[in-house]
Each structure stands twice: as structure tokens, then as C-alpha cells.
Structure 1
Amino acid sequence: MANLVTAGLDGSRESVAAARWAAHEADLRGVPLALVHVEEWLERPPLPVATTEVRRQWAEGLLREASEEIKRLYPDLEITSRRLSGIPATALAHAAASSDILVLGSRGLGGIAGFILGSIGAGTIAAADQPVVLVRAPHGEATPAEGSGIDGPIVAGVDIGRPCDALLSFAFDEAARRGCALRVLHAWAPPPIIGYGPPLDPGAQEEIGQGIATAVDEMIRPWCEKYPSVAVTPEVRMGQSAIQLVDASKGAALVVVGRRIRRSAYGTHIGAIAHAVLHHATSPVAVIAHE
């Protein structure tokens, strides 16, 4: 473990909220917090840009103000800050490589619509093997702890057809550290061929649901034994996974989803479910990479 939490700052309200969330996380873990700002260098910028000195002063002021605010909230927290240069997604993913977790801000679409997942956030998630958390800015005059995913249960979305050890390890560890409940959710839908035929017999539907519930129980049993203090509620819902996870995000401290590590140069490398949850969840979202 790197024993470090890193937050990316770009001057937006969302990145400030991410830094506060990261500070709380670092305080819970008892590890230092690193604040980073990435300056993107363009050989031929489309518009005139500020001089190097002006950009340096602005970035240093941004990092200094964030550090001072967080220090007031968490006086005992060790905080470092640094400026990076390069392509933001690549630089942030590189910073994540030396961290336990990377936290980024993401612009919200409102209380219902959720996040806007920009190219930097998507690129960073796709490039980082470490957990990446996206945080929205709180609405109104909320305090740093409000609207930032501090309270509430943790929701983990699992797929019984794929290995979920990395995701469950993160989710259980977070729930134990926060002393909150954990909801482990699996959503399922009838095979497509059934959707074009007569409605699924209620008895068959119940039997399938019970089988899936048993599989979920077996999947989480070793983790329940490892974390006996965590109150776990397995949930099996019928419906599309992304829709069910977005619904479960209401009032949650954190939603945890997985993404398969893809070495191909093509595709988003995030996955359809994770991508949908990142866009529409109302709570912070942690994306856990797994093979």
C-alpha cells in the first residue's frame, strides 16, 4: 500500500469538494494527503494564454489556499502539494500510481441527473489501476461534510459472473473504516429471448432470484467473516444494473463499481455500467479496476 490519498485540483468548486472528501478519507485512513494541480502544455494553443509566471502564481495560490482550508478542518493531517505538467489524464493517472486512492471533482447536472464525466475524468479512470473516486460539489451553503458523501451507507455493485474481490475488499474496508452499513447489490434481468415471449412465470422468477441471492451470499461470506463489525445487507433486484445502482445511490456515502482492466488501445476502458453510474449517481462514485 502507498499510504497516501491524492486529490486533483483545477480551481473549480467540484475539485474543492473533491479535496475536502479526500481530506476526510486521508484522516480516516491516518495517511497524508497530496494535492496536485496539472498544467497542460499546448504547442499551439487556440487562444492566447497567460505567461508561465502568471500560471505558476495562480497554481501555487490555488494549492496554498486549499491546503490552508483543509488544515483548518483537519489540523493533524499531513498535507503536501505539487504542480505537474503534461496531459492531465496521464499526469493524474501517474499520480494515482503512487497513491492508495485518487479523488477528482466532477461537474454535476443537478440533483437528479448526476455527473458530467468529462474527458479528463474518463481518461484518468481508464488509465489508472488504483481506485478513483469522483465527487460532486455540494449544493447551496453546505458545509464540507454535507453533500460530500460523508454520511450514509456504502453501496457496492457486484456481478456474480465475474471476480469481485478487489471491489469487495475496497467496499468492506471503507465500511469498516467509516463504521457505516454496506449494501451489496446485484441486479439481474431475464435473458433477451424471454423478453420477447410471454411474461416470466412468477414461480420461475422467484426461483431465479433465490439462486442469485444464494450466489451473492456465497460471494460475500469470506468478507463478512473478515469484517465482522460491518453490517452487510445483500440485495438482489430485478432490472438493469445501472438503473438500480443509480437509484441506490440516493443518500449513500459512496457507490462502488468495478471496471475491467483493458490493455487494448480501443474503447472507453470504463464499461457501460460504470459509465452510466458515473454520469447519473447522486453520491460520490469509486471505480475499482480489476482483471
Structure 2
Amino acid sequence: MDYRLEELSEDDFEKLVNTICQVILGTGVISFAKGKDGGRDGRFTGTANNFPSSSENWKGNFIIQAKHSSSPISSCSESDFKTIIDKEIAKIKKLKTSNEIDNYLLFTNRKYTGIVGSALRKKIIDETGVCNVEIIGKETLNDSYLNINKDIVKQFNLDKFILPFTFSEEELKDLILAFKDQLPSIENDINKGIEKVKFDYSKLDISEKNKKNRLGQIYFEDIIVNESLEHFNKIDSFLQNPRNESIKENYYDCVDELKQIITVKRDDFGAFEEILVFIRKLTTEGSLKLKGKKRFVSIFLHYMYYTCSIGVK
């Protein structure tokens, strides 16, 4: 479950982290007011309830730090996070000198990458002398803490950030990449008149379909008609090419999955364009292989809609 912690404010994320620590460490967790925290957003002294496990509990002075990112694709391997760690190390050293720290917990909503994350953890240990150090990323926050503590989810209204649905977007990504690779030859064939496939723009009453699906007229005219419609005959040529038979099968698998999901989850959205934008974002977010090709996700989704593969006919 992805609770989309990037949607929280920095202050709320700090409160969320300290609330989680009250569960895994104890109710004696003390939160600090916003300001110069000296390297700490929370503090706990004693023996942890359940950290790092129920059988091997850390004890002593705990320093809790929360580092929030507003980006849904940020990770611990990025250079700005490494800079954050360097600044934290300087603060930890001061706390170590004054005997205020035995255990250091840094929570972040960034993706925790194993190799880089472990290296940063080791760097903190080596440079500060604090042996008990852990960096806790979004995966652990979602899976190990929030999924089993629904009261915390409700307390911070995290339910509203949950993704309405997910689907096998890799099939759509592969479809886009194959289409983009073949696009120059498709356009060349069409220009030469070799390909006779033409998209029939008049084969359905699209205005009636838009009403049934609650798709806005402005979105239809400005986005689908003005930006995507010219590509539909190219997609027809692409899908009808005999050498793309396996790709076409993947296309229909993707269509079938999306059609069923949209039918089940339709009431979670308002206008139909909200669904299209959501699927586009879900497919492209964090995808390096779609860099420079993201617009084709919308084009294919608009093609699916226009050809009645998705949405009410």
C-alpha cells in the first residue's frame, strides 16, 4: 500500500514519525517544536518496545529525525539526500560529545535503495561513533508501520492519499516504446500511400459517448482532438501490422485490464478525464525509459477511449 506520504506537509510528516515512534519505542517519545532542533525532531530515553525487534531492543538515548520530500520519486541515492546526511553527521557529533545520543533513527519518505542506503548508514556510524543507526525509508514506513497501524493512518487522514487502483502498467510502457520505435517507418509508409488504413472518425457518436462517460467538452476538444486525434491512424497501422501480432495481444490484455478496473473504480473519480490523467501519471511517474515519450501514454489512452475499448459505449 502506497500512502503517498509526499502529500503530507513537512510538519505533519514529523508528527507522523514521532507517532510511529511512540508505538515502536514507547509513549515517552518527546516531540520538539519547529525550529533549530539541533539534529532532532524527537527524543526517547529508555528501552524500545519493539525496535529493532521484540527480542533485541535498543536502549539508551534515542534521537529521532524526520526528512520529508515532496517528490513521489525521490530516493536516498540522490545527491541532495547525501548532503542532508553530511549535515546530520555534524549535528550527531555534537550530540555524541554531550552524551545525548546512543541510538539514531532517521525516517524519510524517500525510496530506500539498499546499496546506497547501507553506505550512508555506515558513513554515519563511522564518522560519529554512534553504533545503533538506522535509516527508514518509505517502503518500511508503508509496509511495516502504517499497514499494521490503521489508527495512525486514520489519525493523519492518509486514506485519502491511497492510490484508487494500480494495474500492470509495464505492458502499456512496452507498447509505447514499440510504437515510438516504429513511428518513423509508419509515418513514412502513410506518406507514401503504402498503408491504406485510415481511422474512421465518424463511426460513432462521440458526443453521446462523452455524455455517458462524463468527459468534459474542453478536455475532449483541446486535448483529445487537437493533440491526439492525428495519431490514431498511425496506431491503427501499428496494431494491424502482421509483425506486431504479439504486441497487439499485449495491447488487448492491457485494454481488458483497464476496462475492468475502470468499471469497478469509476465512482472513485469525477469527470472521466480524471481517470485518464491518473492512469498517465501512474504509468509515467518515475519511469526513465519513458523519458521523452510520456505524451504517447495519453495518446494511446485517448485512442482506447475513442475506439470504445475503455469507457461506456
Name the TM tier (shorter chain).
Answer: under 0.3
Q: TM-score, normalised by structure 1?
A: 0.26
Which is higher, the Rg of structure 1 or of structure 2?
2
Higher relative contact order (CA closer than 8 Å, sequence separation 6+):
1
Name the one with the larger strand percent. Answer: 1
> Relative to total residues, which structure has the larger helix share, 1 or 2?
2
